[in-house]
Amino acid sequence: MIKCAVLGSPISHSLSPILHRKAYEILGIEGSYEAIEKDEQAFPSFMTSARKENWNGFSLTMPLKEVALKVADEIDPTALKIASANTLINNSGVWRAISTDYLAFRKLIDVAHGSKVAIIGGGGTARAAVGALDGKVGAVDILLRSSQRLDALKLAAGSVKITPLDMSADISKYDFVISTVPRGATDQIAENLDDVSGTLLECLYAPWPTNLAAAWAGLNSQVISGLDLLVEQGLHQISFMTKLDFDYSQMRKSLLVAGIEAANR
């Protein structure tokens, strides 16, 4: 039997339990997957106890993506590069930290090498996004509140040239924009939008839409939702946690339907 959970704070809004349980149903396996409220202070002691129990893995959301590297026995090289992990997998008692956020961004970000790309925010999700852009584009602008996270972003970016901008910078002329910040942080940006032509990847999904996503869609431009990101990274988590092979394309369709139905309840 598979035993997994999503950890973070706050966590009550998470759709991950619905998606993972649906996957177990489709795969025909017994499994439990719950949402557990844990913040940075409680997480290390929780992991100490989890090591004595029969857990297969954990999905991690904020604020645990950086702390995960401190409790893992092994760290995937990409997770180490971006200093962020949203997944912990138990391999015969050895806990490995992985970023399936990175893998999802690699799939969802479809850009030409010369595309103008901007990322809003500088945390773990932003580092996963900029890391995924390494090899796809030559430069990325990042809107930041302060320069404190800039060094970590540059390490995550690899060969991508990083240019920091103020949070008030104009994002209307970019080919691809990725918003990784909490709800409300882009409301001022949304109010000032009057013309966009590129794609927005909004990493939030509940409640939906964010003001930025609504404004962007209202200008008849493409929006990739946080649900798309959640499902995409979840496909990799399900594969790692169950150690089963499955058709990602078909599973993606099923989980997106389940997620939309749950969000509309």
Per-residue pLDDT tens for 193-221? 989 989 999 999 988 999 999 999 999 99
Dist. CA 70–CA 48, nearest whole Å = 12
**CATH number reported for the structural domain that contains residue 190 in this entry:** 3.40.50.720
Q: pLDDT digits over 88-112, tens only?
A: 999 999 999 999 999 999 999 999 9
pLDDT band at 241 (very low <50, low <70, confident <90, very high): very high
- Judge whether residue 265 has pLDDT over 80: no
pLDDT band at 80 (very low <50, low <70, confident <90, very high): very high
pLDDT average, residue stretch 14-26: 97
The answer on 133 and 40 residing in a single domain is: no
Exposed, middle or buried, 229 (CB in 10 Å: 0-12/13-18/19+)?
Answer: buried
Q: Where are the beta strands (DSSP E) in the chain?
A: 2-8, 31-37, 57-60, 74-75, 87-91, 94-98, 117-120, 139-144, 161-166, 176-179, 199-202, 223-224
Whether the bond between 44 and the residue before it is cis, its omega within 30 degrees of 0, is no
Q: Are residues 181 and 233 in the same domain?
A: no
- pTM equals 0.95
Instruction: Report which of 17, 59, 69 is spatially closest to residue 38, judged by C-alpha positions.
Output: 59
Residue-averaged pLDDT of the chain: 96
Exposed (0-12), middle (13-18) or buried (19+): which is 154, by Cβ within 10 Å? middle
- Residues 156, 67, single domain; the answer is no
pLDDT at 147: 86
Q: Residue 71 has what pLDDT? A: 96
**Range of the structural domain that residue 84 is part of:** 2-98+227-263
Q: Provide the 8-state DSSP code for 245.
A: -
147: helix, strand or coil: coil
Residues 24 and 93 in one domain: yes
pLDDT of residue 3: 97
- Please tell me the total count of domains within the chain: 2
